[in-house]
């Protein structure tokens, strides 16, 4: 003998009749096994309804909100620091590269100043650690292009140093100034991206 399935029994619990339920109701009236199964189903539903409503022991929202606001303040402080660093680097680069009159004769002092500026910008990049940060595709592409230009310029500087007899100090200074400008642009790219992202 075929007994009613659980789905059919659940359907029979609902008030009203659906088409096709008449045969199921007739079977239920005559089958003690299906009646016992329906009674167990009623008991399960009653037990589930009697379970207490679960509520959290205490409200955690104020604690979570305070943690979120503290993290946001830390991010803003970091952003202000990076913005200050970018502004200082831009001003220094402008003073070092853009505002210096270009004499016909160059002293060794100017070359050493530009080399020191290059080292300062490289240190700033290392402290900023762009490789350890997540950046968007556009920023990564721009940074990659600038880094490629710096690499080409480094090779050119290397060749100029090797052939120093043929190259003038003015050529060397021009290459070093271009390198400083590219490093400054790279610092700006990374710091500006961090500012836009709200990091």
Give pLDDT tens digits for 130-153: 566 666 777 778 878 888 888 888
**Residue range 112-126: mean pLDDT, rounded:** 81
pLDDT at 132: 63
55 vs 3, residue with greater confidence: 3
Q: Output phi, psi for 117, to 5 deg.
A: -60, -40
Contacts of 142 (CB under 8 A, 6+ apart): 189
pLDDT at 199: 36
Percent composition of the chain: helix, strand, coil (DSSP 3-state, to 5): 75, 0, 25
pLDDT at 183: 81
Residue 104 has pLDDT above 60, yes or no: no
Q: Which of 88, 99, 102, 182 is nearest to 143 (CA)?
A: 182
Burial category of 194 from C-beta neighbours within 10 Å (exposed 0-12, middle 13-18, buried 19 and up): buried
189 vs 47, residue with greater confidence: 47
Model pTM score: 0.39
The per-residue pLDDT for range 32-46, each reduced to its tens digit, is 888 888 888 888 888
Asked if residues 114 and 178 have their Cβ atoms less than 8 Å apart, the reply is: no
Contacts of 141 (CB under 8 A, 6+ apart): none
Query: Which of 18-22, 52-56, 57-61, 177-181 has the lowest average pLDDT?
Result: 18-22
pLDDT at 97: 66
Residues 145 and 153: their CA atoms lie apart, in Å, by 12
Share of residues in the chain with pLDDT > 90 (%)? 0
Query: Which of 3-7, 66-70, 168-172, 192-196 has the lowest average pLDDT?
Result: 192-196
Asked if residues 75 and 196 have their Cβ atoms less than 8 Å apart, the reply is: no
Q: Which of 144, 143, 97 is nearest to 120 (CA)?
A: 97
The per-residue pLDDT for range 1-18, each reduced to its tens digit, is 688 887 787 777 776 666
């Amino acid at each position: 003998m075929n007994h009613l399935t659980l789905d059919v029994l659940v359907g029979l619990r609902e008030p009203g009749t659906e088409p096709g339920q008449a045969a199921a109701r007739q079977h239920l009236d005559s089958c003690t096994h299906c009646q016992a199964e329906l009674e167990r189903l009623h008991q399960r539903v009653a037990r589930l309804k009697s379970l207490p409503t679960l509520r959290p022991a205490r409200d955690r929202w104020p604690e979570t909100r305070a943690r979120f606001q503290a993290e946001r303040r830390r991010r803003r402080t970091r952003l202000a620091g990076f913005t200050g660093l970018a502004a200082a680097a831009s001003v220094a680069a402008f003073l070092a590269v853009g505002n210096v009159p270009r004499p016909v004769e160059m002293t060794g002092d100017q070359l050493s100043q530009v080399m020191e500026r290059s080292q300062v910008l490289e240190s700033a990049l290392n402290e900023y650690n762009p490789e350890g940060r997540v950046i968007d595709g556009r920023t990564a592409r721009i940074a990659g292009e600038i880094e490629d230009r710096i690499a080409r310029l480094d090779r050119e500087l290397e060749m100029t140093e090797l052939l120093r007899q043929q190259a003038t100090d003015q050529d060397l200074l021009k290459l070093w100034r271009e390198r400083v400008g590219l490093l400054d642009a790279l610092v700006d790219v990374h710091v500006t991206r961090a500012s836009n992202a709200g990091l």
